[in-house]
A and B are shown apart, each in its own frame.
Chain A
């Protein structure tokens, strides 16, 4: 099983956000709870934690703006 990474809704008014930077490289193993990318909205930034453990696949490009719910990556399952 894999976990899809979509742009999260981190504020009631949020419609879109900038994938400011990937904090974990494409293809690396990440732990659950590890910060994997920085999301920028309006005047604030947030390090988004990995919702699962596994191999991170980048789909979105750092620097691009995405709508809430747009797919920007994937975590391919590893045994927890």
Chain B
């Protein structure tokens, strides 16, 4: 396994390993002391037995090289160089912590030291590391990203997707599997027949190296080859560092699932004990020198703990900070008075006509042209295909495949790469072909894109855009290609959700999303894709969170977005013939939400009907109905009505599909019932 070190490590390097490992060990012990005393109360995943791995890698990295790590974090954080005071303050949930007390040990970031993500989701770091590496590759900085994960993470789909993408894109990323023999309460042999994870690398055509993770010098040597290779532009490496977890999964958790004799042996030959013995046996240093290192590590940790104890807790105003760049976009904090929808002036007469799809293509073209940070990624998006509905046609030819990047069919890898690139300051636009496919990458969207700003206490942010088609009611696309899943997304704080209907707005809203400092999900209704409208030339934006009155009226407000807005407008014309004057309000985005416009319109018409393509039950309409009832209860002439899709999967047969989705007929019926 562990090849003899190629380079005889010098004294300075060995002492550096020892110092880092001593600092890790003291930090880990101090946290466990706090937990033992009941002073700290959280689930803590100790790092005993794994100290040598990051200690071996650390001297090869600068703060501009990125790290992505897991909940079993303290060894990786300390080695990367995050100040101990900030780490401990975070453990104590204090405002001076790395994440202002909002991340905790499982979810902290420290971009100053290059620690970009800590994730509590097994396997999720790998796809994000790809994105950070992509940013370095595109900028030609020569920086690398090192992502650590456990042996258990090799069973996840994210592992497979990430290695697939890293390999085809030759990303400067080093995958470090810290094989501590256990995944939670399950021993390795019980969850896999593999006895060697490094060899999995061969399947991805990348080098796979297995090293003794107890020996920082061995890890260092393997990492040096991998990092040099990545810096040269020769692509990723998978390193398996074999070690042994020296305690149960978490602080206080039982060890019944662990092999007692192996555990006892591993404790006797713990990495720090081995290194100490080696340093003394080789006369590299004296006992007194090591004792001085230990004492100084202990003093540094004690100081950090004292600091953490003394420093204040976060104040209540921190609660809503760092959800978005601005608290103004948080629905529950919006206390603005009702105000008429500001909307957007319609394009001047004679403005050229183009389809919704062409308008999106033009927005992407403009964004790529004016901002070097913009990079597109998704399945089939490059020419000659140019996207499954040709939305991105021509862009890879114009801007090259570096910036318009076709991907494998790996949604988790796509969104993960976009998250990572966004963390590094790029403006990625990822395409998830059909929004139903968000289901296979939802972890990256809702646990990472949405939350990283908050979990990092605002130290990082994720300015990415995900474009995704809603293919409902275009005819027989069936249950898995036709949904409208905006309510899933709206339920996770941290995502902006944009849903245009016209070509003019599609272009302006998409350009706003790309400029936005927060993650935006941009829905493209396929039913609108081929309809035309006037679209102004050049760059312009339409702000998010500003509704538009598509038809003024006085008897009823129909609130909608996406393709059902079109049916709502035609219904309104029919209603007019019956003497019912309906106002049609297009929300255009549901987060941020134009609360003042909704309340002003319904406050005037005193009747509201919400129409959306999503299933009515637990759909976004429920939120709108509540908003209206709570604010306008006394003024309403009827309870808020809702027309959404029926509570069924989307049926294939067009005979049934027409019964599932909201139609003009259903809108008319509901509107008449309200006004009657």
Expressed in whole angstroms, the Cα–Cα distance for A4 and B288 within the complex equals 33
Select one of B33, B38, B39, B252 contacting A11, CB under 8 A: B252
Select one of A32, A52, A68 contacting B41, CB under 8 A: A68
Which A1-53 residues have C-beta < 8 A from chain B? Answer: 3-12, 32-33, 44, 46, 48-52
A10 touches B252 (CB 8 A): yes
Closest Cβ of chain B to A61, distance in Å, is 17
Residues of B close to A12: CB separation below 8 A: 43
A69 touches B253 (CB 8 A): no
B33 touches A8 (CB 8 A): no
- Chain A CB within 10 A, most for which of B36, B252, B254: B36
Residues of A close to B253: CB separation below 8 A: 10-11
Question: Is B674 interfacial (CB-CB < 8 Å)?
Answer: no
Majority secondary structure of chain B interface residues (helix, strand, loop or mixed): loop
Asked, given contacts A9-B42, A68-B41, A69-B41, whether A51 binds B252 with beta carbons under 8 Å apart, the answer is no
Residues of B close to A51: CB separation below 8 A: 33-34, 36-37, 39
Question: Is B251 interfacial (CB-CB < 8 Å)?
Answer: yes
**Which chain B residue shows the least CB distance to A4?**
B37
Which B241-256 residues have C-beta < 8 A from chain A? Answer: 251-254
Residues of A close to B251: CB separation below 8 A: 10
Question: Is B35 interfacial (CB-CB < 8 Å)?
Answer: yes
Select one of A4, A6, A8 contacting B252, CB under 8 A: A8
A6 touches B33 (CB 8 A): no
A9 touches B37 (CB 8 A): no
B35 touches A49 (CB 8 A): no
Asked, given contacts A32-B33, A48-B36, A52-B33, whether A8 binds B41 with beta carbons under 8 Å apart, the answer is yes
Residues of B close to A3: CB separation below 8 A: 37
Expressed in whole angstroms, the Cα–Cα distance for A69 and B38 within the complex equals 6
A5 touches B38 (CB 8 A): yes
Expressed in whole angstroms, the Cα–Cα distance for A52 and B32 within the complex equals 11
- Chain B CB within 10 A, most for which of A5, A6, A9: A9
B38 touches A7 (CB 8 A): yes
- Chain B CB within 10 A, most for which of A9, A10, A52: A10
Asked, given contacts A4-B39, A6-B39, whether A46 binds B34 with beta carbons under 8 Å apart, the answer is no
Residues of B close to A7: CB separation below 8 A: 38
Expressed in whole angstroms, the Cα–Cα distance for A59 and B249 within the complex equals 30
Closest Cβ of chain B to A60, distance in Å, is 11
Expressed in whole angstroms, the Cα–Cα distance for A22 and B252 within the complex equals 17
Expressed in whole angstroms, the Cα–Cα distance for A9 and B37 within the complex equals 10
Residues of B close to A50: CB separation below 8 A: 36
How would residues 252 to 263 of chain B score, 1 for a CB under 8 Å from any chain A CB and 0 otherwise?
111000000000
Select one of B29, B38, B43 contacting A6, CB under 8 A: B38
- Chain A CB within 10 A, most for which of B37, B41, B43, B253: B37
Asked, given contacts A8-B35, A9-B35, A51-B34, whether A46 binds B252 with beta carbons under 8 Å apart, the answer is yes
Expressed in whole angstroms, the Cα–Cα distance for A8 and B250 within the complex equals 13
B254 touches A8 (CB 8 A): no
Expressed in whole angstroms, the Cα–Cα distance for A46 and B250 within the complex equals 13
A9 touches B38 (CB 8 A): yes
Select one of B32, B37, B43 contacting A5, CB under 8 A: B37
Closest Cβ of chain B to A38, distance in Å, is 13
Residues of A close to B252: CB separation below 8 A: 8-11, 46
Closest Cβ of chain B to A40, distance in Å, is 12
Expressed in whole angstroms, the Cα–Cα distance for A33 and B38 within the complex equals 15
A8 touches B37 (CB 8 A): yes
Expressed in whole angstroms, the Cα–Cα distance for A1 and B38 within the complex equals 17
**Which chain B residue shows the least CB distance to A50?**
B36
**Which chain B residue shows the least CB distance to A49?**
B36
Expressed in whole angstroms, the Cα–Cα distance for A61 and B33 within the complex equals 22
A44 touches B36 (CB 8 A): no
Residues of A close to B38: CB separation below 8 A: 4-9, 68-69
Residues of B close to A4: CB separation below 8 A: 37-39
Select one of B32, B41, B254 contacting A9, CB under 8 A: B41
A6 touches B42 (CB 8 A): no
Expressed in whole angstroms, the Cα–Cα distance for A68 and B35 within the complex equals 11
Expressed in whole angstroms, the Cα–Cα distance for A4 and B40 within the complex equals 12
Residues of A close to B37: CB separation below 8 A: 3-6, 8, 51-52
Residues of B close to A69: CB separation below 8 A: 38, 41
Residues of B close to A33: CB separation below 8 A: 29
Residues of A close to B29: CB separation below 8 A: 33
Expressed in whole angstroms, the Cα–Cα distance for A44 and B585 within the complex equals 60
**Which chain A residue shows the least CB distance to B35?**
A8
Residues of B close to A6: CB separation below 8 A: 37-39
Closest Cβ of chain A to B75, distance in Å, is 19
Expressed in whole angstroms, the Cα–Cα distance for A40 and B33 within the complex equals 18
Expressed in whole angstroms, the Cα–Cα distance for A46 and B35 within the complex equals 13
**Which chain B residue shows the least CB distance to A45?**
B254
Which B277-310 residues have C-beta < 8 A from chain A? Answer: none
Closest Cβ of chain A to B120, distance in Å, is 12
Q: A4-B37, A8-B252 are in contact. List 4 more A-B contacts (CB 8 A).
A: A4-B39, A8-B36, A49-B36, A51-B33
Ranked 4 nearest A-B pairs via Cβ: A10-B252, A6-B38, A51-B33, A51-B37
Chain B interfacial positions (CB closer than 8 Å to A): 29, 32-39, 41-43, 251-254
A-B contact pairs, 22 of them (CB 8 A): A5-B37, A6-B37, A6-B38, A8-B35, A8-B36, A8-B38, A8-B252, A9-B35, A9-B38, A9-B41, A9-B42, A10-B35, A12-B43, A44-B254, A46-B252, A46-B254, A48-B36, A50-B36, A51-B34, A51-B37, A52-B33, A69-B38
